[in-house]
Amino acid sequence: MNPLFGPELWEKLGKNPETAALLADPSFKPVLDDLKSDPTALSKHIADPRVLKLFTALSQQSTAMPGSTASETVVEDATMSDAAPQAASREAPPAEPAAPPAPEPEPENLTPEEKKKRDSLAEKDRGTAAYKKRDFAAAIDAYSKAIEIDPDNMSFLTNRAAAKLESGDIQGSIDDCKKAIADNSERQLRTDFKIIARAYGRMGNAYLKMDDYDNAIKSFEKSLLEFSDPKVTRTLREAERTRTRKIEEAYVDPELSKQVRAEGNELFKAGKFPESIAKYTDAIRRNPKDAAPYSNRAAAYMKLGELPMAMKDCDRCLDIDPDFVKAYIRKGNVHFYMKEYHKCLTIYEKGLKLAPNNRELRQGLMKTQMKIQEQQSSGEVDQAQMDQAMQDPEIQQILQDPQMNTLLKQMQEDPKFAAKAMRDPDVAGKIQKLMASGFLRVG
């Protein structure tokens, strides 16, 4: 038997935990028997990882045993030159630096289509790396090469569009997006709908940079038809708001606003109230910071019986100019027509603080006080008026006051108690509001 396979070595291998399992493997026994009977059969079995593991262990055993011979070492070196370093002497030579791994050989079985895809994606990756570094010229160059290699991949066009947009070539970005959309449709490329949505979205962003909000909004809407992206939705809404604001800003012309308001006044005098409202509305658009058109429009709404709209315009007028006396007159009149007499008193009194001698305010206040007295003496109950008063937060607050509840009960039991209660200014004010609202009747 070849000394390489001496019984002492096999005995030691059997005691080695790493190789004992191999020796006990029934499927490996034929290989071992072949090697024992014919050592030259090693070349036939060297590809078997179990053989490689076994001979690594044998090499270690050979160098460790004092009785091993030079011939055994030579056989090990000859057969395991790829697995272990040579051991021509007991002293190992100094280790040399490891050589860099050899580059993997290029596959030779790629089809032309596979090679095209590989090369184009490599250019795309190069472009993306340059884009991240904000080297947009290099990114555009790489994406252009990717497009040249594979013109059917629309993502290369949309990527180049993004790079062009960042570089300042807005029209070039739009052209790339349009080409991606058109090529996909005309050549029936069946591109992923997300890529087409991206093309529309990037085209919309390019139009935004040109302040072309109409085309930007159209592009974002088409993008969302392809794919619902929350970011695009938010951009669309913001573009719509900005477009509206810019249109309104471009429409502002204070001088023209005065002219249009004057035209509205003429229509109002002629009894053409809807037409006057249209003019006043235009005047407001021309100068939204002017309080006068709101007051004029409130008067026209009152003529048409649109009291809530008139009230809204009075409030807006006073928001712009809290000292606009006409708005107090008209707001007081609206409250009067709505039978909210307690609010009439408040509004007229506020107006009179600004213009103590204003005839319309004085007449309005007097008319309201007379109406309240008439209401108290008639003995009739206006249920609609009471129901409306109950919806008023100010009336609700008075009725929820425990002290007022006690006073109201005492007044019901003894009407004369009202005179005593009215001595308190705070209580008197609350009772007057309840009486003016139609909720409380005294006498």
Would you tell me how many other CB atoms lie within 10 Å of the CB of residue 88?
11
Q: What is the pLDDT of residue 98?
A: 54
Q: Which two tokens stand for residue 348?
A: 């007229």
Residue 319, pLDDT above cutoff 90: yes
**For the chain, what's the residue count?**
443
Terminal alpha carbon distance of the chain: 138
439 phi and psi angles, rounded to 5 deg: -75, -35
CATH code assigned at 152: 1.25.40.10
**1 Cβ contact list (under 8 Å, min separation 6):** 36
Question: What is the spatial distance between Cα 99 and Cα 47, in angstroms, rounded to a whole number?
Answer: 24
Residue 142, pLDDT above cutoff 80: yes
Assess if residue 261 is contained within a domain: yes
Q: Are residues 69 and 181 in the same domain?
A: no
Give the position of tokens 């502002």: 252
Q: What is the pLDDT of residue 160?
A: 97
Q: What is the pLDDT of residue 58?
A: 66
Give the mean pLDDT of 385-391.
66
Q: Are residues 123 and 243 in the same domain?
A: yes
Give the mean pLDDT of 217-244.
97
CB distance 436 to 342 below 8 Å: yes
Q: Are residues 122 and 246 in the same domain?
A: yes
0.95 cut: is pTM over it? no
Helix (H, G, I), strand (E, B) or coil at 430: helix
Residue 357, pLDDT above cutoff 60: yes
* DSSP 8-state symbol, 69: -
CA 420 to chain centre: 64
Give the mean pLDDT of 129-149.
97
The domain of 396 spans 385-443
Select the highest-mean-pLDDT range: 47-61, 88-102, 243-257, 379-393: 243-257
Number of domains forming the structure of the chain: 5
Domain boundary among 215, 250, 285: 250
Would you tell me how many other CB atoms lie within 10 Å of the CB of residue 348?
27
Reported for 392-400, long-range contacts at CB under 8 A and 24+ positions apart, including other chains, are 392/340, 392/342, 392/343, 392/437, 394/342, 394/433, 395/342, 395/433, 395/434, 395/437, 395/439, 398/430, 398/433, 398/434, 399/439
Assess if residue 98 is contained within a domain: no
Assess if residue 110 is contained within a domain: no
Q: What is the pLDDT of residue 176?
A: 97
**172 Cβ contact list (under 8 Å, min separation 6):** 161, 164
Residue 88, pLDDT above cutoff 60: no
Q: Using H for helix, E for strand and C for coil, what is the string for 308-373?
A: HHHHHHHHHHHHHCCCCHHHHHHHHHHHHHCCCHHHHHHHHHHHHHHCCCCHHHHHHHHHHHHHHH
Query: pLDDT tier at 233 (50, 70, 90 boundaries)?
Result: very high
Looking at every residue in the chain, the average pLDDT score rounds to 82
Question: What is the spatial distance between Cα 196 and Cα 177, in angstroms, rounded to a whole number?
Answer: 9
CATH code assigned at 410: 1.10.260.100
Residue 289, pLDDT above cutoff 80: yes
Residue 10, pLDDT above cutoff 50: yes
Domain boundary among 60, 79, 98: 79
Q: Are residues 234 and 313 in the same domain?
A: no
Any idea what the Cα angle at residue 283 is, between residues 277 and 285, rounded to 5°? 105
Give the position of tokens 């076994």: 54
Q: What is the pLDDT of residue 125?
A: 96
Would you tell me how many other CB atoms lie within 10 Å of the CB of residue 165?
21
Residue 83, pLDDT above cutoff 60: no
Question: What is the spatial distance between Cα 365 and Cα 327, in angstroms, rounded to a whole number?
Answer: 15
Assess if residue 34 is contained within a domain: yes
Any idea what the Cα angle at residue 342 is, between residues 339 and 347, rounded to 5°? 100
Assess if residue 100 is contained within a domain: no
Q: Are residues 204 and 144 in the same domain?
A: yes
Assess if residue 40 is contained within a domain: yes
Nearest to 392 by CA among 442, 353, 343: 343
Give the mean pLDDT of 369-381.
75
Q: Are residues 190 and 122 in the same domain?
A: yes
CB distance 178 to 214 below 8 Å: no
Question: What is the spatial distance between Cα 395 and Cα 99, in angstroms, rounded to a whole number?
Answer: 94
Give the mean pLDDT of 300-311.
97
Domain boundary among 250, 270, 302: 250
Q: What is the pLDDT of residue 8?
A: 66
Share of the chain above pLDDT 90, in %: 55
Assess if residue 313 is contained within a domain: yes
Q: Provide the H-helix boundaries in 252-286.
A: 254-269, 273-286
Assess if residue 50 is contained within a domain: yes
Query: pLDDT tier at 67 (50, 70, 90 boundaries)?
Result: very low
Q: Which two tokens stand for residue 35?
A: 């090697």
Q: Are residues 170 and 260 in the same domain?
A: no
Q: Are residues 123 and 246 in the same domain?
A: yes
Q: What is the pLDDT of residue 65?
A: 43
Query: pLDDT tier at 413 (50, 70, 90 boundaries)?
Result: low
Question: What is the spatial distance between Cα 194 and Cα 227, in angstroms, rounded to a whole number?
Answer: 6
Q: Are residues 159 and 234 in the same domain?
A: yes
* DSSP 8-state symbol, 415: T
Q: Are residues 179 and 219 in the same domain?
A: yes
Residue 325, pLDDT above cutoff 70: yes
Q: Are residues 119 and 243 in the same domain?
A: yes
Give the mean pLDDT of 396-404.
74
Q: Are residues 143 and 235 in the same domain?
A: yes
Question: What is the spatial distance between Cα 346 and Cα 78, in angstroms, rounded to a whole number?
Answer: 114
Q: What is the pLDDT of residue 62?
A: 52
Is residue 140 classed exposed, middle or buried when 0-12, 13-18 and 19+ CB atoms within 10 A define those classes?
buried
